[in-house]
Structure 1
């Protein structure tokens, strides 16, 4: 453990033990450096780490203060799912559309939203970058921006891969209308109607919608909130059903928030390579990590081009711009062809604006601030769930992203909770929309990507009462 990590752990221990209380001012960097015999940079690193975790907060010209309330998060969800190991037809589109459509009003508290708050992003700066790009737009750019997309933007994306030690040539990258188009194009490139595709359980409902739309069947594989997909079950499923592809999310999986360990990602790619099963990797949340290093994608361990890596700027920089991409390895030509015959190209102004922004710098500074905000909000939301929800509630503790997966007491109907909450202008994402078999009937997904305020506090208190009153038996009083 590094020196700054040791210091951070000691300070966190003092806070958890109550020696340092919420609102207390931490010793200055200079005094801590002197008393501990550490360099100022080491102390700063420790404070930055604690700030990223939401445990302390910096106040301009005042120093660092404890930012830790007495509320406790609920117990964690740690049991793996147990889906049936058979290909099944998917029928979720109508239900998902109805639920999402009902939560679009600004008057609704957006716990069920799929997006973080738009106020978290440098939209004014992006607008200036787009204006600058438009001034320099040349007539032949209309040709250059056709499939596979802007050379400047693809170069910037390739540089992001290179920063992680990955050699992804810009010619492999295909710019798309958001990550969802990238994922759908990859799916079309390797699967045909009637084929079966492996998904996690639970999984992102967008994956289920894509399977349904393309006439594909889903095979759900057990997934654990702490470790991700079960590899022995995955191999057994591949041997039994010979799927056309796997659609997985190793980094901060939606809805669980799971971060797969690096050695497990490596083992996953090796397993799929042995069986020649392409991996469609949904990696849209990788930039939203709360630790000190961006987690590598599964593609980092790919030596044969079997991983089709997909991501976007929608969740971390530019919502509404709809700029995503795929780096689909050996399938790059197929994906580019699918793009060409479907949507042909992606908005030239949006591509140019993002390329200009990335070239000018500032992206990593924005990301650091965004991660600190989300880490703090995760703590606040987790503690609010523990405070207001009844006994028997469990929740995940994600290390990135902006979703909490909440397992309600046995017998609570998540769809019923969703309907009652919506009548009070509170949205939640009910568990059944994350399963091809409509499982997870007592689970909900909550979005902590919006600022905590008085409306959030009231909504969480009301939601806790709805959950408590929805249980078929007494499950304990709502905490006050």
Structure 2
């Protein structure tokens, strides 16, 4: 839609501070002349921008760029993990937080996936029914080892959106994203090897690496641009494999610039170090264009690209995939040994959902909802949390990283918040080191409401 293209273009200029707070925007009449649109379309552009709290109307004066809430809040610091591999997993804390999932009566701000209100449940139910009719054995037979042919073809076709050149034969389906990471770690490492990761990092990746006997080396990470390349260069001879989430990682929400991705791919290829790339959040961008992957710049087949549909369509369906490059045969053998076959029914349903265009329609709505959530959450944090709070500025994904006063212990805060029917993810979950005790990850997967606003207000009071 034309109004959406124009409003997205203006929104991007505001978020990138090309247009600054207080700047006056073109009038409705001038916008009509510049873009050749009707008055109604021009008005709809301004309505959309106002709904995002990006602009404000001043009577008799026109429209002006608003003071964005996040601009009143400083960014969290670049992480400074120890350069020595450590193994201090907060296992009890992780189990305690995960145990709150699905419990009724809680506001699940620790949730790492979209809530059911954001998911196309009726359409997915229909796809499951149709899949039982299409499959020769109603989904009860084993699939071929690489996985559902239609699903792999649809994934390959979608790689064009990030500059990829994947073919159906490049892809192997898995049971969710963590299963893809498991096969990749198994394929490129052995017990005792050192794996480099961002810090902070998704707890599941840390636990998986430890379960395979790997030493984890956490890397300094910038809250906007991701892993610090200079830090990676300093330890390059100490590591055997690297795992990165370049696009909107959790919990920081950072997104590596394309030039950084290209440099990292070249650096690791030069030293013969495999790169496992987790792109599970790549489709959840807030801007107008999907970010590229590290795989985009992979000429040597050294990047093992993993993803899933758990964060976009259906967490419980466990539909994932991997494009393992030159490690394809190793990953395929591991899948045969450990899985034999992917779940036929749900993989066929997701393949159809992609094939008929419903996925793209759903993504447009989901991204708009998540962006609105982000703007509301950040406004609530700016209003209710202590003045010295620092907050990340994700340009996509599902996470906001909140850095509180150094005196705050968010592990203790978790227990207090739980008594007030609020579940949060304490920062200590996202590291194997003694750091991030004063940080919280909040999820954008919970639809913002008056109730959520009041819970954030209460959380702000608990922080004082």
Q: What is the TM-score with the length of structure 2 in the denominator? A: 0.89
| 2:451 maps to 1:451 | no
1:19 to 1:433, Cα distance in 2 relative to 1, 3 A: same
Q: Which moved more, 1:134-143 or 1:443-452?
A: 134-143
Gaps of 5+ in 1: 21-25, 58-64, 469-480
Whether the 8 Å CA contact 1:112–1:427 is kept in 2: the answer is: yes
Matched-pair contact (CA < 8 Å) for 2:53–2:68: no
* 289 and 53 in structure 1: CA distance in 2 versus 1, 3 angstrom threshold: farther
Residue 355 (structure 2) pairs with residue 350 (structure 1)? no
Q: Give the superposition deviation at 1:99.
A: 1.7
Q: Contact 2:139 / 2:345 at 8 angstroms: preserved in 1?
A: no
1:345-377 alpha-carbon deviations (Å, 9 max, x no partner): 221110111111111112212111111111011
Q: Secondary structure at the match of 2:317?
A: coil
TM-score when normalising by structure 1: 0.86
CA drift at 1:74: 4.8
Residues 242 and 274 of structure 2 are in contact (CA less than 8 Å); yes or no, is this contact kept in structure 1? yes
SS at match of 1:37: helix
Q: Which runs of 5+ in 2 are unaligned?
A: 56-62
Cα displacement string for residues 283-316 of structure 1 (whole angstroms, at most 9, x for unaligned residues): 1110000111000111000000110100111111
Query: 1:207-218 counterparts in 2 under 5 A?
Result: 207-218=205-216
- Which residue of structure 2 aligns with residue 177 of structure 1? 175
Q: 1:346 to 1:233 in 2, by over 3 A?
A: same
Matched, 1:275 2:271: yes
**Secondary structure of the structure 1 residue equivalent to 2:233:** helix
Match of 2:256 among 231, 239, 260: 260
Partner of 1:378: 374
Residues 251-400 of structure 1 mapped to structure 2, 5 A cutoff? 251-400=247-396
Shift of 1:55: 3.6
Distance 1:283 1:86, change over 3 A: same
**Cα gap change, 1:113 to 1:6, in 2 (>3 Å):** closer
Task: Tell whether the 8 Å contact from 1:305 to 1:330 is kept in structure 2 after alignment.
Answer: yes
**How much has 1:86 moved relative to structure 2?**
1.4
Query: By how many angstroms is 1:262 displaced?
Result: 0.6
Cα 1:6–1:176, aligned 2, differ >3 Å: closer, same or farther? closer
What is aligned with 2:22?
Answer: 17
Asked if structure 2 preserves the Cα contact closer than 8 Å seen for 1:412 and 1:442, the reply is yes
Tell me the residue number matched to 1:435.
431
SS in 1 for 2:107: coil
Give secondary structure in 1 for the equivalent of 2:320.
strand
Work out whether 1:108 is the aligned partner of 2:97: no
1:40 aligns with 2:45: no
- When residues 51 and 353 of structure 1 are mapped into structure 2, their CA distance, relative to the original with a 3 A threshold, is farther
Q: Distance in 1 between matches of 2:24 and 2:299?
A: 51
| CA RMSD across the alignment | 3.1
Give the match for residue 93 of structure 1. Answer: 91
Q: 2:223 aligns with which of 222, 225, 230?
A: 225
